[in-house]
Amino acid sequence: MEPLHEKKLQHLEEMANRIRERLINVLLEAGSGHSAGPLGMADIFTAMYFHILNHNPKKPDWPLRDRLVLSNGHICPVLYTTMAYAGYFPLEELYTLRKLHSRLQGHPHRGSLPGIETTSGPLGSGLSQAIGMALAARLDGKKHRVYCLMSDGEQQEGNTWEAAMFAGKNRLSNLTAIMDRNNIQIDGFTEQVMPLDSIRAKYEAFRWHVIEVDGHSIERFIDAVYEAMAIHEKPTLIIAHTIPGRGVSFMENDFAWHGKPPNKAQAKEALAELRTLGRKIKSEHE
């Protein structure tokens, strides 16, 4: 990765907000889809595709590329939007989200779009898929890294822990898992539905290196990824504490927005708030 200087950080923060604005319009056009998670993860996806990942949108199957596995496939609107801005496909195609014959399905489908590494939907399967890629890379003597984006709610799935045991036992240091710790799932707050804490202690017991960061600080998140790259004896989990619905006050921390899009009036209000946030970001770097 290149050094993160002030001008680049400003570009990343502004891009993340641009992605949030586009997300609102795309979800409005679709009339279905998830709002809270994608808005909450815009900073992390921006950091991944515009600073961290070794990838080439013009050569999506480049053998030396880093692999990004999205386990919690329902937040794919932020994946699609970020990939479109990165140059994988035209921005205009975003407005086909969830429509008949669209390449942008409600959950990512490998083969439908360039740059989609896995098909996701059933929660809890992504970490196992990422582990397979990481182990294969080691066996083949390849140097690329594998990143797995996960939700906190899917830590309630048993197969997640089978995968975590395997990765720790096999010291897969080329694997970095990134958990969206936003504390919500479709039926309510995670600690009410099925308590998860202490996630850190659990993963450490499974022989993982664990880092906790503010998921909305692009600078701190990138520092965490640098730290993960320096760990050579075990896999790393980055617990990214995020606010679901980030940037839109009436969506923030409200699990009701887990799986629904805004209507026209709500989209108008959301976009007004995000434009204000964009001006604030710009002024902070002047």
pLDDT for the residue 286: 80
pLDDT for the residue 1: 72
* 160 domain residue, yes or no: yes
pLDDT for the residue 56: 98
Structural domain range at position 38: 6-284
Can you give the CATH number for the domain in which 14 is found?
3.40.50.970
Question: Percentage of the chain surpassing pLDDT 90?
Answer: 96
Range of lowest pLDDT (2-11, 45-54, 89-98, 123-132): 2-11
* pLDDT for residue 25 is more than 90: yes
* 40 domain residue, yes or no: yes
- Number of domains into which the chain is organized: 1
pLDDT for the residue 241: 98
* 81 domain residue, yes or no: yes
pLDDT for the residue 122: 86
Q: Can you tell me the mean pLDDT for 192-211?
A: 96
CA dist 43 and 276 (Å) reads 17
* 1 domain residue, yes or no: no
Average pLDDT, rounded, for the chain: 96
Confidence label for 167 from pLDDT (cuts 50, 70 and 90): very high
Task: Give the number of other CB atoms < 10 A from CB of residue 106.
Answer: 17
Confidence label for 121 from pLDDT (cuts 50, 70 and 90): confident
pLDDT digits (tens, 9 = 90+) for 49-63: 999 999 999 999 999
* 86 domain residue, yes or no: yes
* 130 domain residue, yes or no: yes
Beta strands 184-185 and 175-181 are unpaired
* pLDDT for residue 15 is more than 80: yes
CA dist 9 and 285 (Å) reads 9
